[in-house]
Amino acid sequence: MKSFLVIGLGRFGSALAQELCAQGNEVMALDLREDRVQAAADLVTRAAAGDARDPEVLRTLGARNFDCAVVAFSADVGDSALITLNLKEIGVPKVVCKASSAVHRKVLEKIGADQVVFPEQEMALRLARNLSNVDILNFIELSADYSVVERRCPRQWFDKTIRELDIRARYHLNVIAVRQEAGDMLIAPGGDYSLHTGDCLVVLGTNRDIERVEKL
């Protein structure tokens, strides 16, 4: 179990706090608005109203004792930057921030944010990928060049083993898991595994190599 401080209970922050708590973590939710705090109170470990721009508020909440703090709003660049700076100066081990633009991201990284996310952009990329190719079931962009994709097994690969297809050498992709039709997940399948109708492959590789397989 880990402990999280989630600051900002808009749609993103509220959903994040609830899901972290549902996964068995300790979650402290903080927002300026009492109505948002009350709405989240029964769904997280603790919820409080307060101004995270004030370092004393964060110290009173014991911010430095949390494993991770998430600045879950991005509407005001100045406020999110100030809160991030406060958290780092207090000594929070990991600070994750939501950004609204590339400039915002640079500002947050300059003042010490350990990770910066663009939830809307990431969801747009995933949706665009899924809409443009019906075989793509899930898409996680690891960097500008590499991704992990869950996709239906190409028809041309049915009844052939991973070794026979020589996927790593021929397509430069690593098959890290196979989700079988029954729903079972086979992690790191061996070269003797034979692919079947209904199998979904979880592959890691460059976006260019993944796109090559999408055209099969």
Coil, strand or helix at 33: coil
Q: What is the pLDDT of residue 162?
A: 93
Digit-coded pLDDT (tens) for 83-109: 999 999 999 999 999 988 888 989 999
Q: Considering only CA atoms, which of 186, 181, 178, 182 is closest in space to residue 197?
A: 181
- Give dist(CA 118, CA 90) in Å, integer: 25
- Give dist(CA 75, CA 114) in Å, integer: 19
Coil, strand or helix at 162: helix
The residues with which 46 forms a beta bridge, in sequence order, are: 28
- Give dist(CA 176, CA 136) in Å, integer: 16
Quickly state the pLDDT bin for 147 (edges 50, 70, 90). confident
Q: Considering only CA atoms, which of 2, 12, 95 is closest in space to residue 45?
A: 2
DSSP string, 57-81: HHHHTTGGGSSEEEE---S-HHHHH
- Pair of tokens at residue 41: 């109170």
Check residue 185 and give left, alpha or beta (phi > 0: left; psi -120 to 50: alpha).
beta
**Is the pTM higher than 0.85?**
no
- Give dist(CA 105, CA 118) in Å, integer: 9
Quickly state the pLDDT bin for 117 (edges 50, 70, 90). confident
Quickly state the pLDDT bin for 130 (edges 50, 70, 90). low
Digit-coded pLDDT (tens) for 30-73: 999 999 999 999 999 999 999 999 999 999 999 999 999 999 98
- Taking every pair of C-alpha atoms in the chain, what is the biggest distance, in angstroms? 63
The residues with which 95 forms a beta bridge, in sequence order, are: 69
- Element at 13 (helix H, strand E): helix 11-22
Digit-coded pLDDT (tens) for 156-208: 999 999 999 999 899 899 998 898 988 888 898 999 999 989 898 898 988 88
- Give dist(CA 20, CA 46) in Å, integer: 12
Helices and strands counted in the chain (H then E) = 9, 11
